[in-house]
Structure 1
Amino acid sequence: MTMGSLLVIGTALILSAALLSVFALQPHGGGIPRDRRRPFEEESTSQLSRFAGSAVRFVEGLLTHYPIRLYRRELLELAGLKLSQADYIILVGSGTLVLGLMCMLLGGVGLALLIAILTPFAAHVLVTVLINQRRTKFNAQLSDTLQLLTGGLRAGHSILRAIDAAAAEADSPTSEEMHRIVTETSLGKDLLHSLNDTSTRMASEDFMWIAQAIQINREVGGDLAEVLDQVSGTIRERTEIKGQIKALAAEGKMSAYILMALPIGIVTLLSVVNPAYIGVLFTEPLGWLLIGVSIVLMIIGALWLRKIIDLKF
Structure 2
Amino acid sequence: MQIIMLVCLTVFIYNIVDLFMRFVYRKYITYKIRLNDIQKHSLFEYPAGSKRKEPKERISIKLPEKLREDLMLAGLHLRPEEFILLWGIVTVFPGFFALLLSRGIVIVITLVVSGLLFPIILVSILKKKRMEKFNQQLGEALMVISNSLRAGFTFEQALSSISKDLPDPIGTEFKKIVREVELGEELEKSMENVAKRMESKDMELMTTAVAIQRQVGGNLSNILDNIGETIKDRIIIKRNIKALTAQGEISGKIIALLPVVLLVMISMVNPEYMAPMFNTTYGHVLLGLSIVLEVLGYITIKKLINIEM
Give the TM-score taking structure 2 as reference length: 0.73
| Structure 2 spans left out of the alignment, 5+ residues | 31-59
- Judged with a 3 Å threshold, the aligned counterparts in structure 2 of structure 1 residues 201 and 289 are, in CA distance, closer, same or farther, namely same
- Judged with a 3 Å threshold, the aligned counterparts in structure 2 of structure 1 residues 137 and 295 are, in CA distance, closer, same or farther, namely same
Conservation of the 8 A alpha-carbon contact between 2:10 and 2:93:
no
Corresponding residue pairs, total: 278
Amino acid of the residue matched to residue 26 of structure 2?
G
Alignment correspondent of 1:226? 222
Alignment correspondent of 1:132? 128
Q: Deviations over 1:198-246 (max 9, x none)?
A: 0111111111111111112112212111110111111111111111111
Which runs of structure 2 are paired with 1:61-76 in the superposition (5 Å)? 61-64=26-29, 67=61, 69=63, 72-76=67-71
Quote the Cα distance in structure 1 between the aligned partners of 2:263 and 2:62. 41
Q: Give the one of 302, 306, 309 matched to 1:310.
A: 306
2:245 is aligned with 1:249: yes
Q: Deviations over 1:93-126 (max 9, x none)?
A: 5666765664554448967787567545433332
Q: Give the one of 76, 79, 93 matched to 1:81.
A: 76
Amino acid of the residue matched to residue 304 of structure 1?
T
| Structure 1 spans left out of the alignment, 5+ residues | 24-54
**Partner-residue secondary structure (3-state), 1:311:** coil
What's the % identity of the aligned pairs?
Answer: 31
Conservation of the 8 A alpha-carbon contact between 2:13 and 2:89:
no
Quote the Cα distance in structure 2 between the aligned partners of 1:175 and 1:153. 18
Quote the Cα distance in structure 1 between the aligned partners of 2:251 and 2:110. 31
Quote the Cα distance in structure 1 between the aligned partners of 2:26 and 2:171. 33
Return 78-87 or 226-235, whichever deviates more: 78-87
Q: Give the one of 134, 138, 141 matched to 1:142.
A: 138
Q: Give the one of 163, 172, 183 matched to 1:167.
A: 163
Conservation of the 8 A alpha-carbon contact between 1:9 and 1:104:
no
Quote the Cα distance in structure 1 between the aligned partners of 2:270 and 2:84. 45
- Judged with a 3 Å threshold, the aligned counterparts in structure 2 of structure 1 residues 289 and 175 are, in CA distance, closer, same or farther, namely same
2:194 is aligned with 1:198: yes
- Judged with a 3 Å threshold, the aligned counterparts in structure 2 of structure 1 residues 270 and 105 are, in CA distance, closer, same or farther, namely closer
Conservation of the 8 A alpha-carbon contact between 1:166 and 1:175:
yes
Conservation of the 8 A alpha-carbon contact between 2:6 and 2:97:
no
Alignment correspondent of 1:151? 147
- Judged with a 3 Å threshold, the aligned counterparts in structure 2 of structure 1 residues 109 and 247 are, in CA distance, closer, same or farther, namely closer
Quote the Cα distance in structure 2 between the aligned partners of 1:9 and 1:235. 53
- Judged with a 3 Å threshold, the aligned counterparts in structure 2 of structure 1 residues 277 and 67 are, in CA distance, closer, same or farther, namely closer
Which runs of structure 2 are paired with 1:1-313 in the superposition (5 Å)? 12=9, 15=12, 60-64=25-29, 67=61, 69=63, 72-93=67-88, 102-103=97-98, 105-107=100-102, 119=115, 121-264=117-260, 281=277, 285-313=281-309
**Partner-residue secondary structure (3-state), 2:207:** helix
Quote the Cα distance in structure 2 between the aligned partners of 1:93 and 1:62. 21
Give the TM-score taking structure 1 as reference length: 0.72
Q: Deviations over 1:21-45 (max 9, x none)?
A: x97xxxxxxxxxxxxxxxxxxxxxx
Quote the Cα distance in structure 2 between the aligned partners of 1:100 and 1:270. 18
Q: Deviations over 1:226-278 (max 9, x none)?
A: 11011111111111111111122112222322333444466567778988776
**Partner-residue secondary structure (3-state), 2:212:** helix
Conservation of the 8 A alpha-carbon contact between 1:56 and 1:86:
yes
Quote the Cα distance in structure 2 between the aligned partners of 1:119 and 1:174. 31
Quote the Cα distance in structure 2 between the aligned partners of 1:94 and 1:272. 24
- Judged with a 3 Å threshold, the aligned counterparts in structure 2 of structure 1 residues 77 and 292 are, in CA distance, closer, same or farther, namely closer
Q: State the Cα RMSD in Å.
A: 3.8
Quote the Cα distance in structure 1 between the aligned partners of 2:26 and 2:13. 20
Quote the Cα distance in structure 2 between the aligned partners of 1:283 and 1:115. 20
Quote the Cα distance in structure 1 between the aligned partners of 2:271 and 2:87. 38
Quote the Cα distance in structure 1 between the aligned partners of 2:268 and 2:25. 50
Quote the Cα distance in structure 1 between the aligned partners of 2:192 and 2:281. 57
**Partner-residue secondary structure (3-state), 1:312:** coil
Quote the Cα distance in structure 2 between the aligned partners of 1:276 and 1:108. 13
